[in-house]
Amino acid sequence: MKTILQINSSLFGEQGQSSKMANDFVDRLQANSEASALIRRDLHAKPLPHLDGQRFTAFTTPAAERDAAQRAVVAESDALINELRDADIIVLGMPLYNLGVPSTFKAYIDHVARAGETFRYTANGPEGLLQDKKVYIFAARGGKYEGTAMDTQTAYLRHILGLMGIKDIEFVYAEGLNMGGDVAEKALADAQELIRQKAA
C-alpha cells in the first residue's frame, strides 16, 4: 500500500484554487490506484507556530536535557517528519503569495527541515535523508511568472525539498487566474488536463 501525504496551504482553505487542484489530483489518484492511504494537512485550518528562539533551541538541545515544554515541541516536529518518512507520494497545494510560499508552509518547513533528522551535514555539504519520494506541486498564481526571474517560489521548493533528499518533483501551474475570464478559464482547463494525465 502506498501512502499519500497531501498538504494544502491556501488562505482560502478548501476553496483555494491550489487546494482544489490538489484535491482533484488526489481523488483521481486514489480512484486509479489499487490501494493507498491518505494523510491530509490543511495548514490554513491548523497552522503551525512560526519558528522562534525557544522552538529552535528545543530542536538543538540534546534529548536527555530537554524540559517538558521542549519535549512537546520536538514531539510535534517528529510527528510531521514521520509523516514525510512514511509518504511515498507528496502532494502540495501551493498558492503564490507576494512571490513566495505561504507563511504557513514556511512554518511547516521550519518544523521538518531539521539537521540530523531529514538532512545531515557532511564534508561534502548537506545530504538529504528522505529518499524515494514523488512530489506533485499544484501551483496557483494570479499572474504569470513561470520561467521568469520573479518565480522564486519554484526554485525555493526545489532547493528546500532537495535539501531533504526529495528531488523527483513535478509542477502543475495554473497562472493568470486574476487576469480575466478567458485567461483564467484556459489556465484551469490546461491544469485539469495535466491532472487527469498525471493521475492516470
Give the annotated binding-site residues for FMN: 10
- H-state helical runs in the chain: 17-32, 53-60, 68-86, 103-112, 152-163, 181-199
Q: How far is CA 105 from the centre of its chain?
A: 7
Q: How far is CA 173 from the centre of its chain?
A: 15
Q: How far is CA 71 from the centre of its chain?
A: 25
Distances (CA, A) of 191 to 5, 55, 90, 146: 20, 38, 18, 14
**Spatial distance between the Cα atoms of 170 and 136, rounded to a whole number of angstroms:** 5
Question: What cell was used for 128?
Answer: 538529504
**Spatial distance between the Cα atoms of 81 and 2, rounded to a whole number of angstroms:** 17
Enumerate the known binding-site residues: 10
